[in-house]
Amino acid sequence: MAQAIRRRVQCGRLAGNLHPILERVFTARGIDSLDDLTLGLDQLLPPTEFAGLGQAATLLADCLEAGKRILIVGDFDADGATSIAVGATLLRAMGAASVDYLVPNRFEYGYGLTPEIVELARERSPELIVTVDNGISSLEGVARAGELGIRTLVTDHHLPGRELPAADVIVNPNQPGCGFPSKHLAGVGVIFYVMSALRRELRERGWFQRQKIEAPALASVLDLVALGTVADVVPLDRNNRILVQQGLLRIRAGQTRPGIEALLSIAGRPLHRAVASDLSFAVAPRLNAAGRLDDMSVGIACLLADTAAEAHPFAQQLDELNRDRQQIERGMQEEASAALAALDLADADSLPNSICLYQPGWHQGVVGILASRIKDRWHRPVIAFADGDDGSIKGSARSIPGLHIRDVLDRVASAEPGLVSKFGGHAMAAGLSLPREHFERFAAALDAVVSDWIDDVELQAVVESDGELTGEEMRLELAQQLRYAAPWGQHFPEPVFDGIFSVVHQRIVGEKHLKLVLSPEGDPSCLLDAIAFNVDTDVWPSVNAERVEVAYRLDCNYYRGEERLQLMIEVLRPA
C-alpha cells in the first residue's frame, strides 16, 4: 500500500548543547525540557497515588511472615513471562517460604485466571494466587478461588470491564479511582511497583533483619522490566522510558541475566550494543514463540536460569520454536493474501474499513502476528481468527493509530448482545472469541462501527519524517548519537528522515531485499549504503529509477566488529 510521507512539526527549542538534529527530533516528540530526557531511577513516578499498592504490600508481607504458599499465574506472552520472572525472583530473594508459578497452555485453558486454571492451581495447594499481566477480567476465576478459600491479588494493566473481579486486592493503573499518573505500565511494570512496595513494607516490619538476609536490589530485575515493557508495545511515556533505559544500561554493561544474554547472542545481537529494537525484534519474538506454539514454561525457565550453561539450551529451544513459528506464519500469510485477492481488492480505495479473516486450520498462536502483518500492509484494523473449542473461533486484533480496538469491540458487543462471547485488550491490540457461525455477522458489525469511528485521513498510511538531512549531516557519528539517545518505541518512535537521492547502484540480495548505493541530490560526492527489505521484485531493481524519494532511518551497521553508516529504507519510490 502506498505510504504518504508527512513531516513532523518541531515544537520549540531546548536549552543546552544538544546536536541540532537531536533537538529537532526530541521537540517533535513533545519534549519541552531537558529534564524530560533525564532518565535516572530517581525520576520514576512515586507510588503514592497507585491504588491498591499499599494493600498488596500488606497482603504479601503477611503471607511471607506466615510462611504461606504463593502461586503466580501469568499470561503466555513476553510481558507475562517477564512479570513471572520478576515476581518469583524478588519474592524468593525477600525470603518467601514457597513461591511457584503457573502459565497454563493457551490452547487448553485460554487467557486469564479462568475457573479451569484455578482448578489446576488448586493441585499445588496455594494460599495466595498472584496474577501478573492478567486477571482484571477474570470474574469467574477469582470467584472460584474464593470458594476454595484461596486469596487473590490481581496485578494487571489491561483495561477493566464494567465489573471488577472480587479479588482481595487489585493493582492496576487503569482501574477506576487509581490516580497513578502513568496509565501505560506493562504488566511487568505493575509487578515491579508491587515488589518495590513489598520491600518497603518488609523493611518497616524489620523482616530482613529478623531473617538475616539482605533486601534485594530492585535494579537487578530492570533488564526483565525493560524486555517486558518493550515486548508489550506499550506507549513509552517518560516513566516507561526510565524503566527501559535503566534496563538497557544494565544489559549493555553485562549485568543482565544469563537467559537474556543467551537470547541476544543466539540472535547475533552484541550485548554492548543492545537497544530497545534488539529486545523487540530479536529477544521478544523468540520468547513469545514458546507461548504461541507450545507453552511459556521454557521461556520462563530461560529467564530464570542462573548460569549461561543452564540458559543456553533453553535459548536454543526458543530459537527453534521461533523458526517453526515463522514457517507457519508464511503459510498463513499466503492463505490470507489469497483470501484478500479473492475479494478483488484492486487498491486501498476498494478495501473495507476493517478486515476480518478466518481459515479453518490456522494456528491460534500465530493469528496475532498474521493480523499485524496484514495491518502493516493495508493500514486497516485487522482481526484474524483461528478455530477454538466447542464450535468457537478465537480472534486476535491489531489496530491502526486513531482507533481504540478494545472500545470498538465493546461497542460491537453492546450493540449486538451475544454476538461476541468475550473480549479484552488495549487500544492497539485485543483478543476475542465468538461462535463460528457468527463470523460473517461479526465482520459486518465490526466494519459498521469502524466506519462510524474513523475517517478517510486516518485510513491513509503515513510515515512521519523528521525532515531532511544534508550530506554533511549523514554521518556515522550522528547515527550513533541517535541510536543511544533514548529508548525508541511506541509513541516515541525512532527518528525517520526523508529526501531525494540519486541511485548509483542497486541489486537484489537474499530473496527480495534491495541493496543500494545512493547520493543525496546535489551532492554526488557523498555515497551512502542503503537497504530496503521485502521489496516487490517485479518493480525493483528499476532501470528507470535514476532518482528516488526515500524515507529512511540512519543505522549503524555492525559487521565483524566494525560499524558503518547505512540507510534503512522505510519508503522507496521513483522521484
C-alpha cell at 508: 537484489
Peptide bond into 20 cis (omega under 30): no
What is the pLDDT averaged over residues 453-464? 87
Contact between 187 and 133 under an 8 Å Cβ cutoff? The reply is yes
Q: What are phi and psi of 430, to 5 degrees?
A: -155, 165
Pairwise CA distance, residues 165 & 157, whole Å: 14
Contact between 306 and 256 under an 8 Å Cβ cutoff? The reply is no
C-beta neighbour count of 330 within 10 angstroms: 9
C-beta neighbour count of 236 within 10 angstroms: 25
pLDDT for 97-152, tens place per residue?
Answer: 999 999 877 667 667 899 999 999 999 999 999 999 999 999 999 999 999 999 99
The owner of cell 476480518 is 356
pLDDT computed for residue 346 by the predictor:
47
C-alpha cell at 358: 478466518
| Mean of all residue pLDDT scores within the chain | 93
Peptide bond into 165 cis (omega under 30): no
pLDDT computed for residue 514 by the predictor:
96
Strand partners, 395: 385, 432
Helix (H/G/I), strand (E/B), else coil: 98: strand
Sign of the alpha-carbon dihedral angle for 279, 283, 287, 288: positive
> Taking every pair of C-alpha atoms in the chain, what is the biggest distance, in angstroms?
78
Residue 545 burial by Cβ neighbours in a 10 Å radius (0-12, 13-18, 19+)? middle
Sign of the alpha-carbon dihedral angle for 366, 369, 371, 377: negative
pLDDT computed for residue 337 by the predictor:
82
**pLDDT top residue among 389 and 300:** 300
Pairwise CA distance, residues 394 & 206, whole Å: 49
Is the pLDDT at 341 greater than 80? The verdict is no
**pLDDT top residue among 329 and 130:** 130
Query: Could you report how far apart the first and last alpha carbons of the chain are, in Å?
Result: 17
Pairwise CA distance, residues 281 & 212, whole Å: 42
* pTM attached to this predicted model: 0.91
Q: Which of 48-52, 226-230, 387-391, 516-520 bottoms out in mean pLDDT, i.e. has the lowest?
A: 387-391
C-alpha cell at 473: 549531516
pLDDT computed for residue 349 by the predictor:
60
Q: Which amino acid is at 569?
A: I
R_g of the chain, CA atoms, integer Å? 24
**pLDDT top residue among 17 and 62:** 62
pLDDT computed for residue 167 by the predictor:
98
pLDDT for 530-563, tens place per residue?
Answer: 999 989 898 999 988 899 999 999 999 888 888 9
pLDDT computed for residue 422 by the predictor:
87
Work out the pLDDT band at 348, boundaries 50, 70, 90: low
Is the pLDDT at 63 greater than 80? The verdict is yes
pLDDT computed for residue 344 by the predictor:
56
What is the pLDDT averaged over residues 76-90? 96
Pairwise CA distance, residues 551 & 438, whole Å: 42
Secondary structure letter of residue 495 according to DSSP: P
Is the pLDDT at 61 greater than 70? The verdict is yes
| Domains of the chain with bracketed CATH | 48-317 (3.90.1640.30), 343-453 (3.10.310.30), 464-574 (2.40.50.460)
Is the pLDDT at 433 greater than 90? The verdict is yes
Is the pLDDT at 460 greater than 80? The verdict is yes
Residue 206 zone, left/alpha/beta (φ > 0; ψ -120 to 50; rest): left
Pairwise CA distance, residues 117 & 134, whole Å: 12
Is the pLDDT at 1 greater than 70? The verdict is no
pLDDT for 302-313, tens place per residue?
Answer: 999 999 999 999
Q: What percent of the chain has pLDDT over 70?
A: 97
pLDDT computed for residue 125 by the predictor:
96
Cβ neighbors of 226 (< 8 A, separation 6 or more) are: 243, 244, 245, 246, 247, 248, 251, 276, 279, 487
Q: What percent of the chain has pLDDT over 90?
A: 77
What is the pLDDT averaged over residues 348-354? 77
Q: Which of 11-15, 25-29, 217-221, 495-499 bottoms out in mean pLDDT, i.e. has the lowest?
A: 11-15
